[in-house]
Every structure is written in structure tokens, then in C-alpha cells.
């Protein structure tokens, strides 16, 4: 499923999710963003409502991946929108509006979580399913998946954020690096380390990976 708000075509998405994603995509979306920003900078505050409408889904979902708390995700997304509105004149149009917006949001989320960290366990304390994973055990699978996702939040900060953004951007390394403002090589190294830590924490995934690799 393509969750990338920039590349997602709505025909590929479930209707519920499509309503949370931008109305337009591609060049039309970029032009629409630029036109809206021009109107806002000319003094039309209400034009920002269209920006909010267009990007609220991606920003809330991005925040959700940072904290896994619905209420807090909306608060953080609201703060990100306010920060974007204040700094709209700083968007230089060298990158797309979405890249700039995600970058602003990532800064806000990072700062917010630095002040009040999300409640999570350390990586060693993250729950590990007692039995090996089985594809025919849906409940175990759900619990395991949730444990892995929560374990991402337990990663050290320098590895956590690249992991969150890499998967938020549908494994688009360049987009994740642009959002974080890091070189791609640095992102790649941190991601590699993060994935190694997760596989060490969840040996079943490593075994499964090794089997898949051999086949």
C-alpha cells in the first residue's frame, strides 16, 4: 500500500485512508500547494484551511508513528501546522512544499518528544512473543507486529527517527533523508544499524529473514 502522500494515487488506497490523504497528487498537487502558499503570503489566511485539509492526514499519521498516541498525535500535528503557517515565507521553493512541510513537522515532533517523551519501554523490555511466529495465527501476528512497531520507539533516538521516517515515506530513502535534513549515506547507515538492532531483539524475524534469503 502506498502511503507516501506525495506519490500515492487515490485509486490505490482504501476509501477511508484516501480521505485522509491529499486531494491531488503529482504536479497538480505541487502547483496547488504553491498557489495556496502564494495566497496565504498575500494575506488570505483562510487559504491555509485548504493546506490543513490537504495535509492533515499525513501529518497526523506521521505524528502517530512518533508517539503512537492518537490524542498526542493530533496535538503535535496541530503544532506542526501552526509552525508551518508561521514560517511559510521561509519555504524557498527549492524543494517541494511537502518536503518542507514534513521537515517542519519532523522538527516539531522531535522537539515535542524531547520535552515530554512518549511513554514506552526500553528495547530490552519490549515484549517478545513466547512462541515462534506463524502465518496462520492472526492474533499472534497482530501482537507480534505491534511489539515490533513499539520496539521502534524504544530504539535510541538517532536510529528511531530515521526508521520512522523511512517507513513513513514508503521506504523512500531520499525523501526520508530530505525530511531529516541528513545526507542519504548517513540515513542509510543509521537505518542499517536500526534494522540490525530490531532483528537482534526479535530473533524470529531474523530467522524468517534468513530463510527467506536462502529461498
Partner 1 sequence: MSHNQPDQFGQPSQPSQLDRILLEQDSLLPSSGFAASVMDAIQQQSPTPAPIPFPWKLALPGFAALLVGVIVICKLAIMTIRSMSQTYVTSFATDSASNTAWLWPHLNSSSALDVLLRNAAAPILLTLAASWLCVLLCRRFAGEVSR
Closer residue to partner 1, CB minimum distance, 74 or 128: 74
Please pick, from the candidates 41, 82, 127, 200, the single residue that binds partner 1 as defined by CB under 8 A.
82
Q: Which stretch binds partner 1 (CB under 8 A): 24-32, 108-116, 154-162, 171-179?
A: 171-179
Please pick, from the candidates 12, 53, 122, 125, the single residue that binds partner 1 as defined by CB under 8 A.
53
- In 98-108, which positions are buried (b, 16+ CB within 10 angstroms) versus exposed (e)? bbbbbbbbbeb
* Backbone torsions φ then ψ of 147, nearest 5 degrees: -65, -40
Whose cell is 508513528? That residue is 65
Under 8 Å between Cβ of 116 and 137: no
Cell of 167: 517507513
Mask for 124-143, x = binds partner 1 (CB under 8 A): ---------x----------
Taking the complex as a whole, how short is the minimal distance between the CB of residue 7 and partner 1, in angstroms? 10
Is 56 a binding residue for partner 1 by CB under 8 A? The answer is yes
Calculate the dihedral angle through the C-alpha atoms of 68, 71, 72, 77, rounding to the nearest 10 degrees. 100
Q: Would you tell me how many other CB atoms lie within 10 Å of the CB of residue 95?
A: 13
Under 8 Å between Cβ of 50 and 36: yes
Closer residue to partner 1, CB minimum distance, 81 or 102: 81
CA gap 196, 194 in Å, rounded? 5
Residues that bind partner 1 (CB under 8 A): 1, 3, 16-17, 19-20, 45-46, 48-49, 52-53, 56-57, 60-61, 64-65, 70, 73-74, 77-78, 81-82, 85-86, 133, 144-145, 148-149, 152, 163, 167, 170-173, 184, 188, 191-192, 195, 198-199, 202, 205, 208-209, 212-213
Amino acid at each position: 500500500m502506498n502511503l507516501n502522500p506525495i506519490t500515492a494515487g487515490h485509486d490505490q488506497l482504501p476509501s477511508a485512508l484516501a480521505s485522509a490523504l491529499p486531494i491531488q497528487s503529482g504536479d497538480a498537487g505541487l502547483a496547488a500547494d504553491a498557489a495556496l502558499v502564494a495566497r496565504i503570503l498575500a494575506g488570505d489566511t483562510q487559504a491555509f484551511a485548504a493546506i490543513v485539509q490537504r495535509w492533515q492526514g499525513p501529518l497526523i499519521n506521521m505524528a502517530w508513528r512518533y508517539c503512537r498516541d492518537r490524542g498526542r498525535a493530533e496535538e503535535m500535528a496541530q503544532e506542526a501546522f501552526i509552525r508551518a503557517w508561521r514560517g511559510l515565507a521561509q519555504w524557498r521553493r527549492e524543494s517541494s512544499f511537502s518536503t518542507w512541510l514534513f521537515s517542519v513537522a519532523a522538527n516539531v515532533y522531535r522537539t515535542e518528544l524531547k520535552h515530554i517523551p512518549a511513554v514506552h519501554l526500553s528495547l530490552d523490555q519490549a515484549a517478545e512473543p513466547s512462541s515462534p511466529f506463524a502465518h496462520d495465527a492472526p492474533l499472534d501476528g497482530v501482537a507480534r507486529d505491534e511489539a515490533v512497531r513499539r520496539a521502534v520507539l524504544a530504539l535510541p533516538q538517532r536510529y528511531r527517527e530515521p526508521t520512522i521516517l523511512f517507513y513513513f515515506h514508503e521506504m523512500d530513502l531520499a525523501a526520508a533523508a530530505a525530511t531529516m535534513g541528513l545526507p542519504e549515506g548517513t540515513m542509510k547507515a543509521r537505518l542499517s544499524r536500526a534494522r540490525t538492532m530490531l532483528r537482534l531483539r526479535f530473533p524470529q524475524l531474523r530467522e524468517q529473514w534468513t530463510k527467506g534469503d536462502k529461498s
